[in-house]
A and B are shown apart, each in its own frame.
Chain A
Amino acid sequence: MLTVVKNIKNQLKVSFLTVKYALIREMINKTTFLTNITFMILNDASFILQWIVLYALKDNVGGYTFNQVLLLWGIAAGTYGFSHFFFESAFNLSDTINNGKLDAFLVQPKNVLISTITMSISASAIGDLAYAYIMLFVFGFTIKNFLLFTLFCFTGSLIIVSIAIILGSLSFWFNKSDVIADTGNSLLTNFATYPDGIFKGITKILFYTILPLGYVAYMPVQILSSFNIKLFILVISITIMFITLAVITFYRGLRRYSSSNLMIART
Protein backbone atom coordinates (compact mmCIF):
# COMPACT_ATOMS: atom_id res chain seq x y z
CA MET A 1 0.00 0.00 0.00
CA LEU A 2 2.79 2.34 1.01
CA THR A 3 4.62 1.61 -2.25
CA VAL A 4 1.48 2.39 -4.25
CA VAL A 5 1.10 5.77 -2.49
CA LYS A 6 4.81 6.49 -3.05
CA ASN A 7 4.50 5.55 -6.72
CA ILE A 8 1.47 7.81 -7.18
CA LYS A 9 3.32 10.65 -5.42
CA ASN A 10 6.37 10.21 -7.65
CA GLN A 11 4.23 9.99 -10.77
CA LEU A 12 2.44 13.21 -9.81
CA LYS A 13 5.77 14.93 -9.17
CA VAL A 14 7.01 13.98 -12.65
CA SER A 15 3.70 14.97 -14.30
CA PHE A 16 3.77 18.32 -12.49
CA LEU A 17 7.36 18.93 -13.62
CA THR A 18 6.44 17.94 -17.19
CA VAL A 19 3.57 20.44 -17.30
CA LYS A 20 5.79 23.10 -15.68
CA TYR A 21 8.59 22.61 -18.22
CA ALA A 22 6.13 22.47 -21.11
CA LEU A 23 4.66 25.76 -19.89
CA ILE A 24 8.15 27.30 -19.72
CA ARG A 25 8.66 26.19 -23.35
CA GLU A 26 5.44 27.93 -24.41
CA MET A 27 6.46 31.09 -22.55
CA ILE A 28 9.81 31.44 -24.33
CA ASN A 29 8.19 33.66 -26.92
CA LYS A 30 6.29 36.06 -24.67
CA THR A 31 4.37 37.85 -27.44
CA THR A 32 3.12 34.64 -29.09
CA PHE A 33 2.21 33.21 -25.70
CA LEU A 34 0.11 36.22 -24.65
CA THR A 35 -1.43 36.69 -28.11
CA ASN A 36 -2.53 33.03 -28.18
CA ILE A 37 -4.31 33.41 -24.85
CA THR A 38 -5.94 36.75 -25.66
CA PHE A 39 -7.13 35.66 -29.09
CA MET A 40 -8.64 32.49 -27.69
CA ILE A 41 -10.69 34.53 -25.19
CA LEU A 42 -11.80 36.88 -27.99
CA ASN A 43 -12.59 33.92 -30.25
CA ASP A 44 -14.78 32.31 -27.59
CA ALA A 45 -16.44 35.64 -26.80
CA SER A 46 -17.31 36.31 -30.43
CA PHE A 47 -19.64 33.28 -30.49
CA ILE A 48 -21.62 34.64 -27.58
CA LEU A 49 -22.57 37.66 -29.71
CA GLN A 50 -24.65 35.49 -32.02
CA TRP A 51 -26.44 34.00 -29.02
CA ILE A 52 -27.20 37.51 -27.68
CA VAL A 53 -28.84 38.32 -31.01
CA LEU A 54 -30.76 35.02 -30.98
CA TYR A 55 -32.02 35.47 -27.45
CA ALA A 56 -33.17 39.02 -28.26
CA LEU A 57 -35.65 37.34 -30.62
CA LYS A 58 -36.48 34.22 -28.55
CA ASP A 59 -36.65 33.45 -24.83
CA ASN A 60 -35.76 29.84 -25.13
CA VAL A 61 -33.56 27.83 -27.52
CA GLY A 62 -33.74 24.02 -27.28
CA GLY A 63 -34.99 24.29 -23.70
CA TYR A 64 -32.04 26.48 -22.61
CA THR A 65 -32.25 29.99 -21.13
CA PHE A 66 -29.56 32.50 -22.12
CA ASN A 67 -27.88 31.97 -18.78
CA GLN A 68 -27.73 28.24 -19.38
CA VAL A 69 -26.18 28.78 -22.80
CA LEU A 70 -23.49 30.84 -21.10
CA LEU A 71 -22.93 28.00 -18.66
CA LEU A 72 -22.80 25.50 -21.53
CA TRP A 73 -20.14 27.64 -23.18
CA GLY A 74 -18.30 27.86 -19.88
CA ILE A 75 -18.24 24.12 -19.43
CA ALA A 76 -17.30 23.49 -23.05
CA ALA A 77 -14.44 26.03 -22.84
CA GLY A 78 -13.33 24.69 -19.46
CA THR A 79 -13.38 21.10 -20.70
CA TYR A 80 -11.42 22.05 -23.80
CA GLY A 81 -9.09 24.19 -21.69
CA PHE A 82 -8.28 21.52 -19.12
CA SER A 83 -7.84 18.79 -21.72
CA HIS A 84 -5.57 20.84 -23.96
CA PHE A 85 -3.62 22.38 -21.10
CA PHE A 86 -2.79 19.18 -19.28
CA PHE A 87 -3.17 16.55 -22.00
CA GLU A 88 -2.50 18.31 -25.30
CA SER A 89 -0.41 15.42 -26.62
CA ALA A 90 -3.31 12.97 -26.23
CA PHE A 91 -4.69 14.65 -29.33
CA ASN A 92 -1.48 13.89 -31.24
CA LEU A 93 -1.21 10.30 -30.06
CA SER A 94 -1.37 8.87 -33.60
CA ASP A 95 1.65 10.91 -34.59
CA THR A 96 3.51 9.85 -31.43
CA ILE A 97 2.85 6.18 -32.18
CA ASN A 98 3.50 6.35 -35.93
CA ASN A 99 6.83 8.11 -35.49
CA GLY A 100 8.14 5.81 -32.78
CA LYS A 101 8.15 8.56 -30.16
CA LEU A 102 6.91 6.25 -27.40
CA ASP A 103 10.42 4.77 -27.08
CA ALA A 104 11.62 7.49 -24.72
CA PHE A 105 8.76 6.83 -22.29
CA LEU A 106 9.01 3.05 -22.51
CA VAL A 107 12.53 3.08 -21.10
CA GLN A 108 11.48 5.20 -18.12
CA PRO A 109 10.09 3.74 -14.89
CA LYS A 110 6.91 5.76 -15.10
CA ASN A 111 3.43 5.25 -16.53
CA VAL A 112 3.82 5.32 -20.33
CA LEU A 113 0.32 6.60 -21.04
CA ILE A 114 0.48 9.48 -18.55
CA SER A 115 3.98 10.46 -19.69
CA THR A 116 2.86 10.39 -23.33
CA ILE A 117 -0.28 12.50 -22.96
CA THR A 118 1.27 15.14 -20.68
CA MET A 119 4.40 15.91 -22.69
CA SER A 120 3.09 19.16 -24.18
CA ILE A 121 0.59 21.89 -23.41
CA SER A 122 -1.34 24.36 -25.52
CA ALA A 123 -0.99 28.02 -24.51
CA SER A 124 -4.35 28.95 -26.04
CA ALA A 125 -5.99 26.50 -23.63
CA ILE A 126 -5.21 29.02 -20.88
CA GLY A 127 -7.46 31.45 -22.78
CA ASP A 128 -10.23 28.83 -22.81
CA LEU A 129 -9.87 28.27 -19.09
CA ALA A 130 -9.99 31.99 -18.34
CA TYR A 131 -13.08 32.35 -20.52
CA ALA A 132 -14.71 29.34 -18.81
CA TYR A 133 -14.48 30.96 -15.39
CA ILE A 134 -15.66 34.33 -16.72
CA MET A 135 -18.77 32.49 -17.94
CA LEU A 136 -19.21 30.92 -14.50
CA PHE A 137 -19.13 34.38 -12.92
CA VAL A 138 -21.75 35.64 -15.35
CA PHE A 139 -23.93 32.56 -14.69
CA GLY A 140 -23.71 32.97 -10.94
CA PHE A 141 -20.70 32.36 -8.71
CA THR A 142 -21.16 30.41 -5.50
CA ILE A 143 -18.65 28.06 -3.84
CA LYS A 144 -20.88 25.10 -4.72
CA ASN A 145 -21.15 26.20 -8.36
CA PHE A 146 -17.41 26.79 -8.53
CA LEU A 147 -16.58 23.32 -7.20
CA LEU A 148 -19.14 21.54 -9.37
CA PHE A 149 -18.15 23.56 -12.42
CA THR A 150 -14.45 22.75 -11.92
CA LEU A 151 -15.24 19.09 -11.33
CA PHE A 152 -17.35 18.85 -14.49
CA CYS A 153 -14.77 20.65 -16.58
CA PHE A 154 -12.30 18.07 -15.35
CA THR A 155 -14.54 15.01 -15.85
CA GLY A 156 -15.46 16.36 -19.28
CA SER A 157 -11.82 16.79 -20.18
CA LEU A 158 -11.07 13.26 -18.96
CA ILE A 159 -13.85 11.90 -21.20
CA ILE A 160 -12.68 13.70 -24.33
CA VAL A 161 -9.04 12.86 -23.58
CA SER A 162 -10.08 9.21 -23.16
CA ILE A 163 -11.78 9.31 -26.55
CA ALA A 164 -8.69 10.95 -28.05
CA ILE A 165 -6.59 8.12 -26.56
CA ILE A 166 -8.92 5.43 -27.94
CA LEU A 167 -8.95 7.04 -31.41
CA GLY A 168 -5.19 7.71 -31.31
CA SER A 169 -4.49 4.13 -30.20
CA LEU A 170 -6.08 2.90 -33.45
CA SER A 171 -2.68 3.72 -34.96
CA PHE A 172 -1.33 0.61 -33.25
CA TRP A 173 -3.60 -1.39 -35.55
CA PHE A 174 -4.24 0.74 -38.62
CA ASN A 175 -2.08 2.88 -40.78
CA LYS A 176 -3.30 6.45 -41.38
CA SER A 177 -5.86 6.24 -38.57
CA ASP A 178 -4.84 9.75 -37.53
CA VAL A 179 -7.57 11.00 -39.91
CA ILE A 180 -10.22 9.15 -37.86
CA ALA A 181 -8.75 10.55 -34.64
CA ASP A 182 -8.75 14.13 -35.98
CA THR A 183 -12.35 13.86 -37.22
CA GLY A 184 -13.57 12.34 -33.94
CA ASN A 185 -11.85 14.99 -31.86
CA SER A 186 -13.20 17.90 -33.89
CA LEU A 187 -16.76 16.45 -33.90
CA LEU A 188 -16.75 16.59 -30.12
CA THR A 189 -15.64 20.21 -30.07
CA ASN A 190 -18.08 21.34 -32.76
CA PHE A 191 -21.26 20.13 -31.08
CA ALA A 192 -20.43 20.88 -27.47
CA THR A 193 -21.66 24.48 -27.56
CA TYR A 194 -25.23 23.95 -28.81
CA PRO A 195 -28.18 23.24 -26.49
CA ASP A 196 -28.99 19.56 -26.76
CA GLY A 197 -32.71 20.35 -27.12
CA ILE A 198 -32.14 21.30 -30.76
CA PHE A 199 -30.89 17.78 -31.55
CA LYS A 200 -33.37 14.97 -32.05
CA GLY A 201 -33.41 11.22 -32.76
CA ILE A 202 -30.17 9.49 -33.73
CA THR A 203 -28.01 12.56 -33.11
CA LYS A 204 -29.24 12.67 -29.54
CA ILE A 205 -28.55 8.94 -29.07
CA LEU A 206 -25.04 9.54 -30.39
CA PHE A 207 -24.49 12.23 -27.77
CA TYR A 208 -25.11 9.76 -25.01
CA THR A 209 -23.10 6.90 -26.58
CA ILE A 210 -20.13 7.20 -28.90
CA LEU A 211 -20.01 11.02 -28.94
CA PRO A 212 -20.66 11.39 -25.20
CA LEU A 213 -21.28 15.14 -25.11
CA GLY A 214 -24.30 14.45 -22.94
CA TYR A 215 -22.00 13.59 -20.05
CA VAL A 216 -19.38 16.20 -20.96
CA ALA A 217 -21.63 19.26 -21.21
CA TYR A 218 -25.42 18.75 -21.18
CA MET A 219 -25.81 16.79 -17.92
CA PRO A 220 -23.40 19.09 -16.03
CA VAL A 221 -25.51 22.09 -17.14
CA GLN A 222 -28.62 20.32 -15.82
CA ILE A 223 -26.89 19.46 -12.53
CA LEU A 224 -25.58 22.99 -12.06
CA SER A 225 -29.04 24.44 -12.82
CA SER A 226 -30.71 22.08 -10.37
CA PHE A 227 -28.66 19.49 -8.47
CA ASN A 228 -29.55 15.85 -9.16
CA ILE A 229 -27.55 13.17 -7.36
CA LYS A 230 -28.47 10.40 -9.86
CA LEU A 231 -27.17 12.42 -12.80
CA PHE A 232 -24.09 13.37 -10.77
CA ILE A 233 -23.23 9.70 -10.08
CA LEU A 234 -23.94 8.86 -13.73
CA VAL A 235 -21.47 11.50 -14.97
CA ILE A 236 -18.75 10.27 -12.60
CA SER A 237 -19.38 6.61 -13.53
CA ILE A 238 -19.32 7.31 -17.27
CA THR A 239 -16.04 9.23 -16.82
CA ILE A 240 -14.47 6.25 -15.02
CA MET A 241 -15.79 3.93 -17.75
CA PHE A 242 -14.23 6.00 -20.54
CA ILE A 243 -10.89 6.23 -18.70
CA THR A 244 -10.89 2.44 -18.21
CA LEU A 245 -11.71 1.86 -21.88
CA ALA A 246 -8.93 4.22 -22.94
CA VAL A 247 -6.35 2.56 -20.68
CA ILE A 248 -7.31 -0.93 -21.91
CA THR A 249 -7.22 0.11 -25.57
CA PHE A 250 -3.86 1.85 -25.22
CA TYR A 251 -2.14 -1.03 -23.43
CA ARG A 252 -3.64 -3.64 -25.77
CA GLY A 253 -2.27 -1.64 -28.67
CA LEU A 254 1.10 -1.09 -27.02
CA ARG A 255 1.83 -4.80 -27.41
CA ARG A 256 1.70 -4.21 -31.18
CA TYR A 257 3.92 -1.11 -31.07
CA SER A 258 6.54 -1.35 -33.77
CA SER A 259 8.71 1.63 -32.81
CA SER A 260 9.45 2.96 -36.27
CA ASN A 261 12.65 4.88 -36.78
CA LEU A 262 11.67 8.43 -37.45
CA MET A 263 12.74 9.71 -40.85
CA ILE A 264 11.53 12.90 -42.43
CA ALA A 265 9.82 11.83 -45.61
CA ARG A 266 7.06 13.07 -47.88
CA THR A 267 3.98 11.01 -47.05
Chain B
Amino acid sequence: MNEKAIIVKNLSKTFRVKEKEKGFKGSIKSIFKTKYREIKAVNDLSFDVDKGEILAFIGPNGAGKSTTIKMLTGILFPDQGTVEVMGIDPKKKRKKLAYEIGTVFGQKEQLWTHLTPYDNFKFFGAIYDIDDYTVEKRIKELKDMFELDEFINTPVRNLSLGQRIRCEIVASLIHKPKILFLDEPTIGLDPVVKENIRTLIKRMNKEYHTTVFLTSHDVGDIEKLCKRIIIVNHGQIVLDDSMENLKYHYLNKKIVEAKMKEKVNLNDEDGITILKDKGYNLKIEVDTTKRSVGDAIKLLNPNNIIDINISNIPLEDIISDIYKRDK
Protein backbone atom coordinates (compact mmCIF):
# COMPACT_ATOMS: atom_id res chain seq x y z
CA MET B 1 0.00 0.00 0.00
CA ASN B 2 1.24 3.48 -0.83
CA GLU B 3 2.17 5.79 2.00
CA LYS B 4 -0.22 8.71 2.37
CA ALA B 5 0.83 12.34 2.32
CA ILE B 6 -2.66 13.69 2.97
CA ILE B 7 -5.68 12.04 4.58
CA VAL B 8 -8.95 13.98 4.72
CA LYS B 9 -12.06 12.59 6.38
CA ASN B 10 -15.54 14.16 6.40
CA LEU B 11 -14.15 17.68 6.18
CA SER B 12 -16.69 20.52 6.37
CA LYS B 13 -16.52 24.29 6.59
CA THR B 14 -19.43 26.71 6.70
CA PHE B 15 -19.21 30.48 6.30
CA ARG B 16 -21.83 32.87 7.65
CA VAL B 17 -22.62 35.61 5.19
CA LYS B 18 -24.60 38.74 6.01
CA GLU B 19 -27.72 39.20 3.90
CA LYS B 20 -29.24 42.57 3.22
CA GLU B 21 -32.44 43.56 1.49
CA LYS B 22 -31.92 45.76 -1.53
CA GLY B 23 -31.61 49.54 -1.44
CA PHE B 24 -31.19 52.13 1.28
CA LYS B 25 -34.23 50.86 3.23
CA GLY B 26 -32.60 47.44 3.35
CA SER B 27 -29.42 48.97 4.76
CA ILE B 28 -31.36 50.74 7.54
CA LYS B 29 -33.28 47.54 8.32
CA SER B 30 -30.09 45.51 8.51
CA ILE B 31 -28.72 47.82 11.23
CA PHE B 32 -31.51 46.71 13.57
CA LYS B 33 -31.99 43.17 12.40
CA THR B 34 -29.13 41.41 10.69
CA LYS B 35 -29.93 38.33 8.67
CA TYR B 36 -27.29 35.73 8.00
CA ARG B 37 -27.11 33.01 5.41
CA GLU B 38 -24.94 29.96 5.86
CA ILE B 39 -22.81 28.82 2.95
CA LYS B 40 -21.38 25.35 3.07
CA ALA B 41 -18.06 25.97 1.34
CA VAL B 42 -16.84 22.42 1.97
CA ASN B 43 -19.31 19.67 2.69
CA ASP B 44 -18.25 16.28 4.04
CA LEU B 45 -15.14 15.92 1.89
CA SER B 46 -13.06 12.74 2.13
CA PHE B 47 -10.00 11.81 0.07
CA ASP B 48 -6.33 10.95 0.38
CA VAL B 49 -3.17 11.69 -1.56
CA ASP B 50 -0.19 9.35 -1.95
CA LYS B 51 3.34 10.49 -1.26
CA GLY B 52 5.01 11.66 -4.46
CA GLU B 53 1.71 12.02 -6.32
CA ILE B 54 0.76 15.06 -8.42
CA LEU B 55 -2.93 15.65 -7.86
CA ALA B 56 -5.18 18.10 -9.66
CA PHE B 57 -7.86 19.48 -7.36
CA ILE B 58 -10.20 21.41 -9.58
CA GLY B 59 -13.66 22.89 -9.71
CA PRO B 60 -15.52 26.02 -10.82
CA ASN B 61 -15.23 29.30 -8.87
CA GLY B 62 -16.71 28.99 -5.39
CA ALA B 63 -16.56 25.17 -5.45
CA GLY B 64 -14.54 25.00 -2.22
CA LYS B 65 -11.05 24.42 -3.65
CA SER B 66 -9.29 27.29 -1.90
CA THR B 67 -11.16 26.66 1.36
CA THR B 68 -9.97 23.04 1.27
CA ILE B 69 -6.36 24.02 0.54
CA LYS B 70 -6.51 26.57 3.35
CA MET B 71 -7.71 23.93 5.81
CA LEU B 72 -4.97 21.55 4.67
CA THR B 73 -2.30 24.20 5.21
CA GLY B 74 -3.54 25.39 8.62
CA ILE B 75 -4.84 28.77 7.45
CA LEU B 76 -8.48 27.97 8.22
CA PHE B 77 -9.99 25.92 11.03
CA PRO B 78 -12.40 23.21 9.84
CA ASP B 79 -15.86 23.04 11.42
CA GLN B 80 -15.99 19.25 11.20
CA GLY B 81 -13.87 16.36 10.07
CA THR B 82 -10.21 15.48 10.34
CA VAL B 83 -7.15 16.40 8.30
CA GLU B 84 -3.74 14.79 8.42
CA VAL B 85 -0.93 16.23 6.33
CA MET B 86 2.29 14.20 6.64
CA GLY B 87 0.72 12.74 9.77
CA ILE B 88 0.21 16.22 11.31
CA ASP B 89 -3.11 17.83 12.25
CA PRO B 90 -2.86 21.39 10.83
CA LYS B 91 -5.33 22.66 13.43
CA LYS B 92 -3.16 21.56 16.34
CA LYS B 93 0.41 21.74 15.02
CA ARG B 94 0.45 24.58 12.52
CA LYS B 95 4.11 25.48 13.02
CA LYS B 96 5.30 21.86 12.83
CA LEU B 97 3.33 21.42 9.62
CA ALA B 98 4.85 24.58 8.12
CA TYR B 99 8.27 22.88 7.97
CA GLU B 100 6.77 20.05 5.89
CA ILE B 101 4.81 22.04 3.33
CA GLY B 102 5.42 24.74 0.77
CA THR B 103 2.71 26.98 -0.64
CA VAL B 104 2.39 29.08 -3.75
CA PHE B 105 -0.79 31.10 -4.09
CA GLY B 106 -0.77 32.51 -7.60
CA GLN B 107 -2.83 35.50 -6.54
CA LYS B 108 -0.99 36.31 -3.31
CA GLU B 109 2.68 37.18 -3.43
CA GLN B 110 4.93 36.23 -0.58
CA LEU B 111 8.16 37.82 -1.83
CA TRP B 112 9.37 41.30 -0.84
CA THR B 113 9.23 43.16 -4.13
CA HIS B 114 12.03 45.65 -3.36
CA LEU B 115 14.51 42.87 -2.57
CA THR B 116 16.31 40.60 -5.00
CA PRO B 117 15.23 36.95 -5.24
CA TYR B 118 18.55 36.03 -3.56
CA ASP B 119 17.80 38.22 -0.49
CA ASN B 120 14.26 36.87 -0.41
CA PHE B 121 15.53 33.28 -0.41
CA LYS B 122 17.93 34.10 2.42
CA PHE B 123 15.01 35.57 4.35
CA PHE B 124 12.96 32.43 3.78
CA GLY B 125 15.94 30.40 4.93
CA ALA B 126 15.85 32.34 8.23
CA ILE B 127 12.10 31.76 8.56
CA TYR B 128 12.70 28.00 8.33
CA ASP B 129 15.73 28.13 10.69
CA ILE B 130 18.20 26.99 8.03
CA ASP B 131 21.84 27.86 8.66
CA ASP B 132 23.72 30.08 6.19
CA TYR B 133 25.83 27.32 4.66
CA THR B 134 22.85 25.04 3.97
CA VAL B 135 20.73 27.87 2.60
CA GLU B 136 23.50 28.96 0.19
CA LYS B 137 23.81 25.39 -1.04
CA ARG B 138 20.06 25.07 -1.46
CA ILE B 139 19.78 28.41 -3.30
CA LYS B 140 22.47 27.29 -5.74
CA GLU B 141 20.73 23.97 -6.33
CA LEU B 142 17.32 25.60 -6.94
CA LYS B 143 18.86 28.42 -8.98
CA ASP B 144 20.22 25.85 -11.41
CA MET B 145 17.04 23.80 -11.51
CA PHE B 146 14.71 26.78 -12.04
CA GLU B 147 17.19 28.65 -14.27
CA LEU B 148 17.27 31.85 -12.19
CA ASP B 149 20.87 32.80 -12.95
CA GLU B 150 19.97 35.74 -15.15
CA PHE B 151 17.83 37.60 -12.63
CA ILE B 152 18.65 36.29 -9.14
CA ASN B 153 20.16 39.67 -8.26
CA THR B 154 17.45 41.86 -9.83
CA PRO B 155 14.80 43.33 -7.48
CA VAL B 156 11.60 41.28 -7.69
CA ARG B 157 9.55 44.33 -8.74
CA ASN B 158 11.55 44.49 -11.99
CA LEU B 159 10.92 40.85 -12.92
CA SER B 160 8.34 39.58 -15.37
CA LEU B 161 5.34 37.66 -14.04
CA GLY B 162 6.80 34.34 -15.18
CA GLN B 163 10.14 35.06 -13.48
CA ARG B 164 8.31 36.06 -10.31
CA ILE B 165 6.28 32.84 -10.20
CA ARG B 166 9.48 30.85 -10.64
CA CYS B 167 10.97 32.73 -7.69
CA GLU B 168 7.78 32.20 -5.65
CA ILE B 169 8.07 28.45 -6.24
CA VAL B 170 11.77 28.46 -5.34
CA ALA B 171 11.04 30.44 -2.14
CA SER B 172 8.47 27.82 -1.15
CA LEU B 173 11.00 25.03 -1.79
CA ILE B 174 13.90 26.46 0.26
CA HIS B 175 13.16 24.20 3.24
CA LYS B 176 12.73 21.04 1.12
CA PRO B 177 9.01 20.62 1.82
CA LYS B 178 7.51 17.19 1.34
CA ILE B 179 4.29 18.60 -0.09
CA LEU B 180 3.89 21.60 -2.34
CA PHE B 181 0.48 23.29 -2.52
CA LEU B 182 0.09 25.22 -5.75
CA ASP B 183 -3.02 27.36 -6.00
CA GLU B 184 -3.34 28.47 -9.62
CA PRO B 185 0.38 28.87 -10.20
CA THR B 186 0.11 29.69 -13.91
CA ILE B 187 -2.60 32.33 -13.66
CA GLY B 188 -1.94 35.21 -16.04
CA LEU B 189 1.11 33.64 -17.70
CA ASP B 190 1.69 33.32 -21.43
CA PRO B 191 1.67 29.80 -22.99
CA VAL B 192 5.48 29.53 -23.29
CA VAL B 193 6.07 30.49 -19.65
CA LYS B 194 3.24 28.18 -18.55
CA GLU B 195 4.90 25.29 -20.32
CA ASN B 196 8.22 26.17 -18.72
CA ILE B 197 6.70 26.24 -15.21
CA ARG B 198 5.03 22.88 -15.82
CA THR B 199 8.31 21.30 -16.89
CA LEU B 200 10.00 22.64 -13.77
CA ILE B 201 7.26 21.35 -11.46
CA LYS B 202 7.50 17.94 -13.10
CA ARG B 203 11.26 17.89 -12.77
CA MET B 204 11.03 18.88 -9.10
CA ASN B 205 8.49 16.13 -8.44
CA LYS B 206 10.75 13.60 -10.11
CA GLU B 207 14.00 14.65 -8.45
CA TYR B 208 12.80 15.39 -4.90
CA HIS B 209 9.75 13.12 -4.91
CA THR B 210 7.70 16.11 -3.70
CA THR B 211 3.96 15.55 -3.49
CA VAL B 212 2.14 18.24 -5.47
CA PHE B 213 -1.40 19.38 -4.67
CA LEU B 214 -2.46 21.60 -7.55
CA THR B 215 -5.53 23.70 -8.14
CA SER B 216 -5.88 25.32 -11.51
CA HIS B 217 -8.42 26.47 -14.05
CA ASP B 218 -5.91 25.74 -16.75
CA VAL B 219 -6.61 22.42 -18.39
CA GLY B 220 -3.07 22.33 -19.77
CA ASP B 221 -1.66 22.31 -16.22
CA ILE B 222 -3.87 19.39 -15.28
CA GLU B 223 -3.40 17.40 -18.46
CA LYS B 224 0.37 17.79 -18.56
CA LEU B 225 1.17 17.44 -14.86
CA CYS B 226 -1.34 15.25 -13.11
CA LYS B 227 -2.00 11.55 -13.06
CA ARG B 228 -5.04 11.90 -10.83
CA ILE B 229 -7.84 14.41 -10.75
CA ILE B 230 -10.41 15.34 -8.10
CA ILE B 231 -13.26 17.53 -9.25
CA VAL B 232 -15.22 19.38 -6.58
CA ASN B 233 -18.41 21.36 -6.91
CA HIS B 234 -20.64 22.85 -4.20
CA GLY B 235 -18.08 21.70 -1.64
CA GLN B 236 -18.37 18.02 -2.56
CA ILE B 237 -16.35 15.64 -4.67
CA VAL B 238 -18.06 14.92 -7.97
CA LEU B 239 -15.22 12.92 -9.47
CA ASP B 240 -12.07 11.30 -8.13
CA ASP B 241 -10.31 9.31 -10.82
CA SER B 242 -7.08 8.83 -12.71
CA MET B 243 -6.51 11.01 -15.76
CA GLU B 244 -6.29 7.84 -17.81
CA ASN B 245 -9.72 6.64 -16.71
CA LEU B 246 -11.24 10.04 -17.19
CA LYS B 247 -9.97 10.22 -20.74
CA TYR B 248 -10.92 6.61 -21.46
CA HIS B 249 -14.53 7.10 -20.35
CA TYR B 250 -14.96 10.37 -22.16
CA LEU B 251 -12.84 9.65 -25.15
CA ASN B 252 -15.31 7.22 -26.64
CA LYS B 253 -16.68 10.31 -28.26
CA LYS B 254 -14.83 11.69 -31.27
CA ILE B 255 -15.18 14.99 -33.00
CA VAL B 256 -15.19 14.77 -36.79
CA GLU B 257 -14.67 18.02 -38.69
CA ALA B 258 -15.03 17.78 -42.45
CA LYS B 259 -14.74 20.21 -45.36
CA MET B 260 -17.14 19.10 -48.13
CA LYS B 261 -17.19 19.53 -51.92
CA GLU B 262 -20.98 19.67 -51.92
CA LYS B 263 -23.52 20.42 -49.21
CA VAL B 264 -24.76 17.38 -47.28
CA ASN B 265 -28.07 17.04 -45.55
CA LEU B 266 -27.39 15.27 -42.34
CA ASN B 267 -29.62 15.02 -39.26
CA ASP B 268 -28.97 13.92 -35.66
CA GLU B 269 -29.31 10.18 -35.46
CA ASP B 270 -28.33 7.37 -33.13
CA GLY B 271 -24.66 7.90 -32.17
CA ILE B 272 -24.21 11.03 -34.27
CA THR B 273 -24.81 14.60 -33.09
CA ILE B 274 -24.41 17.58 -35.40
CA LEU B 275 -22.42 20.24 -33.60
CA LYS B 276 -22.03 22.72 -36.44
CA ASP B 277 -23.41 22.72 -39.98
CA LYS B 278 -22.26 25.56 -42.22
CA GLY B 279 -23.07 23.89 -45.49
CA TYR B 280 -19.62 23.01 -46.74
CA ASN B 281 -18.11 22.79 -43.26
CA LEU B 282 -19.46 20.21 -40.89
CA LYS B 283 -18.67 19.32 -37.29
CA ILE B 284 -20.18 16.19 -35.78
CA GLU B 285 -19.74 14.21 -32.58
CA VAL B 286 -19.62 10.44 -32.94
CA ASP B 287 -20.40 8.17 -29.99
CA THR B 288 -18.17 5.20 -30.80
CA THR B 289 -20.10 2.91 -28.47
CA LYS B 290 -23.05 3.22 -30.89
CA ARG B 291 -21.51 4.06 -34.28
CA SER B 292 -18.02 3.65 -35.65
CA VAL B 293 -16.15 6.65 -37.03
CA GLY B 294 -16.02 4.72 -40.33
CA ASP B 295 -19.84 4.65 -40.41
CA ALA B 296 -19.96 8.36 -39.86
CA ILE B 297 -17.51 8.97 -42.71
CA LYS B 298 -19.58 6.73 -44.98
CA LEU B 299 -22.64 8.82 -44.17
CA LEU B 300 -20.76 11.90 -45.29
CA ASN B 301 -19.65 10.07 -48.45
CA PRO B 302 -15.84 9.80 -48.63
CA ASN B 303 -15.77 11.05 -52.24
CA ASN B 304 -17.41 14.27 -51.14
CA ILE B 305 -14.80 15.05 -48.45
CA ILE B 306 -11.99 17.53 -49.28
CA ASP B 307 -10.39 17.52 -45.84
CA ILE B 308 -11.12 15.75 -42.57
CA ASN B 309 -9.96 16.02 -38.97
CA ILE B 310 -10.82 13.49 -36.27
CA SER B 311 -10.06 14.46 -32.68
CA ASN B 312 -10.86 13.67 -29.09
CA ILE B 313 -13.14 15.88 -27.04
CA PRO B 314 -10.95 18.54 -25.37
CA LEU B 315 -10.42 17.91 -21.66
CA GLU B 316 -11.80 21.38 -21.03
CA ASP B 317 -15.17 20.33 -22.49
CA ILE B 318 -15.13 17.12 -20.48
CA ILE B 319 -14.58 19.03 -17.26
CA SER B 320 -17.20 21.67 -17.94
CA ASP B 321 -19.60 18.86 -18.86
CA ILE B 322 -18.96 17.30 -15.43
CA TYR B 323 -19.53 20.69 -13.75
CA LYS B 324 -22.82 21.15 -15.62
CA ARG B 325 -23.96 17.62 -14.88
CA ASP B 326 -23.56 18.32 -11.20
CA LYS B 327 -25.67 21.51 -11.18
Contacts and interface: CB of A to CB of B under 8 A. Distances in A.
Interface of A: 6, 10, 13-14, 17, 21, 24-25, 28, 100-104, 106-110, 175, 255, 257-259, 261-262
B101 interface: yes
Interface string B9-31: 00000010010000000000000
**Main secondary structure on A side of the interface with B:** loop
Give the bracket for the number of chain B residues in contact with chain A.
20 to 34
A32 B92 CA distance: 45
Contact of A103 (B75, B95, B101, B126): B75
Interface string B68-79: 001001111100
Given A21-B119, A25-B112, A108 B127 contact: yes
A110 B126 CA distance: 10
* Secondary structure of the B contact surface, majority rule: mixed
Contacts of B250: none
B108 interface: yes
17 contacts: A6-B129, A10-B129, A14-B123, A14-B127, A21-B112, A103-B70, A103-B105, A106-B74, A106-B75, A106-B94, A107-B98, A109-B95, A175-B18, A257-B75, A261-B107, A262-B107, A262-B108
Contacts of A110: 95, 127
A21 B18 contact: no
B105 to A, nearest CB: 7
A106 B108 contact: no
A73 B274 CA distance: 83
Interface string B55-67: 0000000000010
B43 interface: no
B123 A109 contact: no
B99 interface: yes
Contacts of B110: 104
Given A107-B101, A261-B107, 8 more contacts: A10-B129, A17-B126, A107-B74, A107-B98, A110-B95, A257-B75, A258-B15, A258-B76
B243 to A, nearest CB: 28
A262 B108 CA distance: 8
Contacts of A13: 126
Nearest to A13: B126
B126 A109 contact: no
| Most-contacted residue by chain A among B75, B96, B114 (CB, 10 A) | B75
B123 A17 contact: yes
A108 B126 CA distance: 11
B100 to A, nearest CB: 10
